[in-house]
């Protein structure tokens, strides 16, 4: 090694030490501050059993789950210290009124904490999280969540039930829209970005929200994609994939976690001592608190591990769920268990400590009220601009034959067809907090304005409803297409019914008769671009066969129209990349990129050949479908093209011992060139594969990525460095290690391409 290289490695290692120190510091900043600990202990000493249990109790305001008959008694509950938190209070005046009862009329004056699902914006609605992940831009995600925090805190909310960091590999699952897709590496980076954005540099900042990583854990692996369904998986899969983004969030200092609805290997996640106590507290040292999901303590009864609510309370609590959202189980039953000794008083103290720690860290004792005058009620212009920029970056161009997009500046007539073209509520997407459809600029509105400016004709026809079977509007749609130079088809999913919670689909095609509408319109023979609004990958094979271009727009938020219009006309280029695999057909589901090879991979090991060859009968494949997806993970086109050189590594062989000691790394480079005629952004991705290891490894795993911007004709050498963290394999318990192996590395534009390089780990 040359001196320069040694120096570089030293600098790199030192910066790694500093980075981990910095993130540990962020976590310590609120979890370990001695001042806070002293206050927590002093308060704890004064609390009665009932007051302690009160802190573990959360109600949704207006939902009559509360003690006694519900709503009308909530004020008394606060007075008596029987309530620690509300969700769904969004009116700052109400929040102050309730808080005043806690601060002025309750014995110990412990402030309430108000939580809400602030998922992708508060008043200003940004693209849905799956779309935000498609930006592959952690800084952008951090900015978006900071804006959401600033808006939400202005209404008295200091806690968001976000980020959802569930890995999701089954597009039938409606909640795939709420997360960052299928990959644990990308998911971890996004998890950290959300936590940084919400929590800021200090939780004590009145504009910071406590974040909540949810749903802990493996909720996204619900069997058959049916929401709330069973999950059964190996500990390896749990640790190497599903736990990863949670671990990242904890490492970044997330204040809270939410326990999920599902079972994991037979044990409900909301009563799971292994995940909630052994892993989360024991192994990771998490010092914040865990809230149940809505009623998930009570759901231990239908799960079959409790025959009554009191048993449910005991099991949920002893496993490590500190706060009971909406089951009212702790409130009714915990005291008796503590008195009888079935729940140790020390366990109760510990749960209360965790909750008080977060309340003190948020500064709620010093500043319990919100300034009602400053509540964000209208959309700040800067936030609207940020929403547009985020949307532009999240669109994924899936197909663009003969350069249909961007539309020509001199185009004379455009047909805009489809039920999504002017559907404001669907632009907001699932969980839009205080988003208001009235603030949305739809694609139709944006194109109308543009047509006046640019002087082209716009022929609009709705064609059909989102979930309709009537073809009454088809003729009008076909006529609009016939009159136009180019056709934009705005199709997709009903965001509130088909995406988000309890929105699993058994079919993942275009809903209703939209495919038939597409075929009818395409028959006009005009260049046609499909603008797709969906909260999940759809099976687009038949649609893709009939249109020249497809742009996946997800649920883009309030600025749907302006963002799309700018991208469609080329003022901005689509630069999103898929964070979830798009199948060719439903039968391939679940489908994701980091699969094992199997003992019988189709010939060529590459899973890219259709099953046409008779010799491939006894291979791991379908007889009636290809193995490969329609659009792979990481994929996305833009208005220019990029070329990748072969991947290069700086060594043929690296010592496993040195890697494990953190003293060696592998440096990998490739040259990326903009071969088109306009500037463009590329998401350069790094994948690794390991062979010859003690257990079978995925053919490819994402281990790095970088966004690069290149002028036409220009190239850039993109460099990655990987070491122990990227190469380690889970051994057992808390142990990870690098093993001797043949390491294959690809620097590539997506999970299905690239020219690899090989390094022996010895």
Total residues belonging to the chain: 762
Question: Could you give the CA distance from residue 682 to residue 630 in angstroms, rounded to a whole number?
Answer: 20
> Closest distance between ligand BGC and the C-beta of residue 258, in Å?
6
Of 87 and 743, which has the nearer Cβ to ligand BGC? 87
Of 166 and 552, which has the nearer Cβ to ligand BGC? 166
Residues contacting residue 177 through CB under 8 Å, at least 6 positions apart: 128, 129, 130, 429, 430, 499, 500, 535, 536, 554, 555
177 to 216: interface string for ligand BGC, x by CB under 6 A: -------------------------------------x--
354 to 373: interface string for ligand BGC, x by CB under 6 A: --------------------
> Closest distance between ligand BGC and the C-beta of residue 177, in Å?
12
Please state, in angstroms and as integers, the Cα–Cα distance from residue 237 to each residue in 110, 222, 590, 724, following that order.
41, 14, 15, 19
- Residue 161 binds ligand BGC, judged by CB under 6 A: yes
Of 36 and 87, which has the nearer Cβ to ligand BGC? 87
Of 117 and 251, which has the nearer Cβ to ligand BGC? 117
Our separate counts of H helices and E strands in the chain read 25, 27
> Closest distance between ligand BGC and the C-beta of residue 203, in Å?
19
The dihedral region occupied by 418, where left means phi > 0, alpha psi between -120 and 50, and beta the remainder, is left
**Binders of ligand BGC among 76-105, rule CB under 6 A?**
87
Task: Determine the 3-state secondary structure of 317 from DSSP.
Answer: helix
Residue with smallest beta-carbon separation from ligand BGC: 161
> Closest distance between ligand BGC and the C-beta of residue 324, in Å?
13
Active site residue 293: yes
Note if the bond before 335 is cis, omega within 30 degrees: no
- Residue 120 binds ligand BGC, judged by CB under 6 A: no
Of 454 and 501, which has the nearer Cβ to ligand BGC? 501
> Closest distance between ligand BGC and the C-beta of residue 288, in Å?
16
Of 300 and 538, which has the nearer Cβ to ligand BGC? 300
> Closest distance between ligand BGC and the C-beta of residue 58, in Å?
10
Of 161 and 198, which has the nearer Cβ to ligand BGC? 161
> Closest distance between ligand BGC and the C-beta of residue 138, in Å?
22
What sign does the dihedral 529-534-536-538 (CA atoms) show?
A: negative
Note if the bond before 362 is cis, omega within 30 degrees: no
- How many residues bind ligand BGC (CB under 6 A)? The answer is 7
Question: Could you give the CA distance from residue 404 to residue 529 in angstroms, rounded to a whole number?
Answer: 7
Distance, C-alpha 658 to centroid of its chain? 35
Please state, in angstroms and as integers, the Cα–Cα distance from residue 573 to each residue in 198, 395, 566, 637, 680, following that order.
29, 9, 8, 10, 7
Q: Name which position in 36, 51, 56, 117 contacts ligand BGC (CB under 6 A).
A: 117
Q: Name which position in 170, 182, 251, 293 contacts ligand BGC (CB under 6 A).
A: 293
Distance, C-alpha 142 to centroid of its chain? 13
Of 58 and 383, which has the nearer Cβ to ligand BGC? 58
> Closest distance between ligand BGC and the C-beta of residue 371, in Å?
26
- Residue 566 binds ligand BGC, judged by CB under 6 A: no
What single DSSP character describes residue 283? I
175 neighbors 166 (Cβ within 8 angstroms): yes
Q: What is the DSSP string of 187-249?
A: HHHHHHHHHHHHH-S-TTSTT--B-EEEEETTGGG-GGG-TT--B---HHHIIIIISHHHHHH
Question: Could you give the CA distance from residue 636 to residue 654 in angstroms, rounded to a whole number?
Answer: 34
Question: Could you give the CA distance from residue 200 to residue 193 in angstroms, rounded to a whole number?
Answer: 10
Tell which residue, 128, 131, 130, 170, has the closest CA to residue 508: 170
Distance, C-alpha 497 to centroid of its chain? 19
Of 258 and 387, which has the nearer Cβ to ligand BGC? 258
500 to 539: interface string for ligand BGC, x by CB under 6 A: -x--------------------------------------
Question: Per the residue annotation, which of 117, 183, 293, 439 is the catalytic one?
Answer: 293
Please provide residue 510's backbone torsions phi and psi, each rounded to the nearest 5 degrees. Answer: -60, 135
**Binders of ligand BGC among 488-507, rule CB under 6 A?**
501
> Closest distance between ligand BGC and the C-beta of residue 190, in Å?
17
Side-chain-side CA neighbours of 284 within 13 Å: the count stands at 27
Just list the catalytic residues: 293
Which residues would be at the binding site for ligand BGC (CB under 6 A)? 87, 117, 161, 214, 293-294, 501
């Amino acid at each position: 090694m040359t001196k320069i290289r040694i120096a570089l490695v030293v600098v790199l290692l030192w910066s790694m030490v500093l980075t981990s120190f910095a993130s540990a510091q962020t976590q310590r900043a609120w979890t370990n501050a001695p001042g806070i600990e002293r206050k927590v202990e002093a308060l704890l000493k004064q609390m009665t059993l009932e007051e302690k249990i009160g802190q573990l109790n959360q109600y949704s305001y207006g939902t009559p789950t509360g003690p006694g008959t519900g709503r009308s008694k909530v004020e008394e509950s606060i007075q008596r210290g029987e309530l620690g938190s509300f969700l769904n209070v969004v009116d700052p005046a109400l929040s102050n009124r309730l808080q005043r009862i806690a601060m002025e009329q309750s014995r110990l004056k412990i402030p309430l904490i108000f939580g809400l699902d602030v998922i992708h914006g508060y008043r200003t609605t940004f693209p849905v999280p799956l779309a935000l992940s498609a930006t592959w831009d952690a800084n952008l995600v951090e900015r978006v969540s900071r804006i959401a925090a600033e808006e939400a805190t202005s209404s008295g909310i200091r806690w968001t039930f976000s980020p959802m960091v569930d890995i999701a590999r089954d597009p039938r699952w409606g909640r795939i829209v709420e997360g960052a897709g299928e990959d644990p590496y990308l998911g971890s980076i996004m998890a950290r970005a959300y936590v940084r954005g919400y929590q800021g540099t200090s939780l004590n900042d009145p504009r910071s929200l406590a974040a909540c990583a949810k749903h802990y854990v493996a909720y996204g692996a619900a069997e058959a994609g049916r929401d709330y369904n069973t999950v059964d998986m190996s500990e390896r899969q749990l640790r190497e994939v599903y736990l990863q983004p949670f671990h990242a969030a904890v490492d970044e200092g997330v204040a809270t976690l939410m326990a999920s609805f599902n079972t994991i290997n037979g044990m409900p996640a909301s009563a799971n001592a292994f995940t909630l106590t052994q892993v989360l507290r024991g192994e990771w040292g998490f010092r914040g608190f865990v809230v149940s999901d809505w009623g998930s303590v009570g759901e231990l009864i239908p799960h079959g591990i409790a025959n009554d609510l009191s048993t449910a309370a005991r099991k949920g609590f002893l496993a490590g769920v500190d706060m009971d959202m909406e089951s009212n189980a702790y409130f009714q039953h915990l005291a008796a268990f503590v008195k009888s000794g079935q729940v140790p008083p020390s366990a109760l103290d510990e749960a209360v400590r965790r909750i008080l720690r977060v309340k003190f860290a948020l500064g709620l004792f010093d500043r319990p009220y919100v300034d009602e005058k400053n509540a964000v009620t209208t959309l700040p212009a800067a936030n609207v601009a940020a929403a547009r920029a985020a949307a532009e970056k999240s669109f994924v161009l899936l197909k663009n034959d003969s350069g249909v997009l961007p539309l020509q500046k001199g185009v004379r007539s455009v047909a805009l067809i489809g039920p999504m073209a002017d559907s404001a509520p669907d632009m907001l997407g699932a969980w839009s907090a205080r988003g208001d459809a009235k603030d949305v600029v739809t694609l139709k509105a944006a194109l109308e304005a543009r047509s006046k400016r640019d002087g082209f004709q716009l022929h609009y026809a709705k064609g059909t409803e989102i979930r309709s079977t009537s073809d009454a509007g088809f003729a009008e749609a076909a006529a609009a297409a016939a009159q136009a130079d180019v056709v934009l088809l705005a199709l997709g999913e009903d965001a509130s019914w088909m995406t988000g919670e309890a929105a699993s689909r058994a079919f993942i095609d275009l809903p209703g008769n939209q495919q038939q509408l597409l075929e009818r319109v395409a028959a006009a023979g005009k260049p046609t671009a499909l603008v797709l609004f969906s909260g999940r990958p759809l099976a687009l094979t038949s649609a893709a066969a009939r249109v020249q271009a497809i742009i996946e727009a997800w649920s883009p938020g309030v600025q749907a129209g302006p963002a799309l219009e700018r991208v469609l006309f080329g003022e901005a280029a689509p630069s999103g990349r898929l964070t979830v695999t798009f199948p060719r057909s439903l039968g391939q589901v679940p489908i994701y990129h980091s699969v094992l090879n199997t003992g019988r991979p189709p010939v060529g090991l590459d899973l890219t050949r259709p099953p046409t060859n008779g010799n491939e009968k006894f291979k791991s494949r379908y007889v009636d479908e290809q193995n490969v997806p329609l659009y792979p993970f990481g994929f996305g086109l833009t208005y220019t093209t990029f070329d990748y050189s072969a991947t290069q590594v700086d060594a043929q062989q690296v010592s496993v011992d040195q890697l494990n000691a953190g003293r060696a790394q592998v440096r990998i480079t490739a040259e990326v060139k903009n071969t088109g005629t306009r500037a463009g952004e590329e998401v350069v991705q790094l994948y690794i594969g390991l062979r010859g290891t003690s257990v079978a490894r995925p053919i490819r795993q994402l281990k790095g990525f970088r966004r690069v911007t290149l002028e036409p004709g220009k190239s850039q050498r993109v460099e990655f460095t990987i070491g122990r963290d990227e190469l380690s394999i889970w051994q057992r318990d808390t142990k990870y290690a690098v093993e001797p192996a043949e390491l294959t590395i690809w620097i590539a534009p997506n999970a299905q391409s690239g020219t690899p390089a090989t390094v022996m780990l010895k």
